[in-house]
């Protein structure tokens, strides 16, 4: 037993001495021939690479499996959300079709006369010159393109203003936020009537709104159709605040967002002339 312990101790000493000698030999060899050392290192790396690949393959496989499970869970959540949204959309599609059929039936029974089809042109905003109208801008379409005073100016489906001055190749748009703008509107939910009045701020006021009207932030504001200039139901904005009897409206489109606008003639009477004037005043 003692002899075995002595042999083990002797082997450990020789092993340590062998490692020291091998390290010294590699240092001398590296100084003498760097290319040979690099070749040996690359050979060892090539020999060890398959072993490392086998060792690390289970770890990468497990990581991929975990990621797959996470993605599967995320896909299931997205699928459930999309199914819910699709169900809601199908419901509203059914409601819309039902209301459209009912609307057509009622119109036929009442001999309803529909509004004429509107004509329109799309043009670019070319300037915001201010002047007498603080919140106004110029567009690069005028009388030569069929633009007339009083026509509606929209961005998408949202009313942003009306034409107030018309030249041959340009026109001025008075925005709803201007102090000179007064527009008959109503709350979409309660159908309560009011006047949207600009005051040269980004949020115009609702005036002449009944005190008994339950106006609250988030209520949508649309045109009422009174005055015969614009058709009813054109979106404008939502109520942003109700404080001390002052009701403010947040426009759905702000002036700094206007790059292209559409000038629309709804064919209504109102303040629009029946026949377009000739020349510069058209």
Q: Is residue 126 part of a domain?
A: yes
208 pLDDT more than 80: yes
Q: Are 234 and 157 in contact (CB under 8 A)?
A: yes
Q: In terms of pLDDT, which residue wins out, 203 or 67?
A: 203
Measured over the CA atoms of residue 270, residue 273, residue 276 and residue 280, the dihedral's sign is: negative
Distance separating the N- and C-terminal Cα atoms of the chain: 121
Two structure tokens written together for 99: 């209301």
Q: Averaged over 5-13, what is the pLDDT?
A: 63
Report the residue count for the chain. 282
Please report, for the domain that includes residue 190, its CATH number: 2.40.10.340
Reported as a single tens digit per residue, the pLDDT across 192-203 is 999 999 988 899
**Residue 196 CB neighbour total at 10 angstroms:** 26
CA separation, residue 33 to residues 18, 30, 46, 47, 254 (Å):
22, 5, 20, 22, 75
Q: Is residue 158 part of a domain?
A: yes
Q: Is residue 147 part of a domain?
A: yes
Name the most confidently modeled range: 103-112, 113-122, 213-222: 213-222
DSSP 193-214: EEEEE--SSSS-EEES--TTS-
- Total structural domains in the chain? 1
Q: Is residue 36 part of a domain?
A: no
Distance from C-alpha of 236 to C-alpha of 221, rounded to nearest angstrom: 6
Reported as a single tens digit per residue, the pLDDT across 230-243 is 888 899 999 999 98
* pTM exceeding 0.85: no
Helix (H) and strand (E) counts for the chain? 2, 12
Distance from C-alpha of 155 to C-alpha of 137, rounded to nearest angstrom: 14
Reported as a single tens digit per residue, the pLDDT across 181-194 is 999 999 988 889 99
DSSP E strand stretches across the chain: 119-127, 136-139, 152-155, 158-166, 171-175, 182-187, 193-197, 205-207, 220-223, 235-243, 246-251, 260-265
Radius of gyration, CA atoms only, the chain: 39
Q: Is residue 195 part of a domain?
A: yes
Which range marks the domain in which residue 196 is found? 119-272
State the DSSP H helix or E strand holding residue 3, giving kind and residue range, or none if neither.
helix 2-32
DSSP E strand stretches across 107-168: 119-127, 136-139, 152-155, 158-166
Q: Is residue 266 part of a domain?
A: yes
Of 84, 178, 98, 76, nearest to 134 by C-alpha is 178
Distance from C-alpha of 274 to C-alpha of 254, rounded to nearest angstrom: 32
Residue 204 — left, alpha, or beta (φ > 0 → left; ψ -120 to 50 → alpha)?
A: beta
Tokens 């690069």 belong to 140
């Amino acid at each position: 037993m003692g002899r075995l312990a002595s042999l083990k101790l002797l082997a450990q000493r020789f092993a340590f001495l062998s490692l020291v000698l091998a390290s010294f030999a590699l240092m001398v060899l590296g100084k003498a021939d760097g290319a040979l050392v690099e070749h040996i290192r690359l050979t060892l790396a090539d020999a060890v690479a398959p072993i490392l690949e086998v060792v690390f393959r289970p770890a990468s496989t497990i990581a991929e499996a975990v990621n797959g499970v996470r993605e599967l869970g995320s896909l299931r959540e997205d699928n459930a959300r999309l199914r819910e949204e699709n169900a809601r959309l199908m419901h509203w599609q059914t409601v819309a079709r039902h209301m459209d059929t009912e609307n057509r039936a009622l119109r036929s029974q009442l001999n309803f006369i529909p509004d004429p089809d509107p004509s329109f042109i799309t043009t670019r905003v070319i300037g915001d010159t201010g002047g007498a109208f603080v919140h106004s801008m110029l567009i690069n379409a005028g009388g030569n393109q069929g633009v007339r005073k009083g026509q509606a100016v929209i961005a998408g489906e949202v009313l942003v203003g009306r034409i107030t001055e018309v030249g041959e190749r340009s026109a001025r748009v008075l925005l709803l936020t201007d102090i000179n703008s007064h527009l008959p509107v109503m709350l979409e939910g309660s159908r309560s009537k009011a006047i949207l009045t600009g005051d040269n701020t980004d949020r115009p006021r609702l005036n002449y709104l009944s005190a008994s009207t339950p106006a609250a932030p988030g209520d949508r504001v649309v045109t009422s159709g009174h005055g015969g200039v614009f058709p009813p139901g054109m979106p404008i904005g939502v109520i942003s605040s109700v404080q001390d009897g002052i009701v403010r409206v947040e426009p759905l489109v702000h002036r700094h967002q206007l790059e292209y606008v559409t000038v629309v003639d709804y064919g209504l009477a109102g303040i629009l002339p029946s026949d377009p004037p000739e020349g510069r005043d058209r």
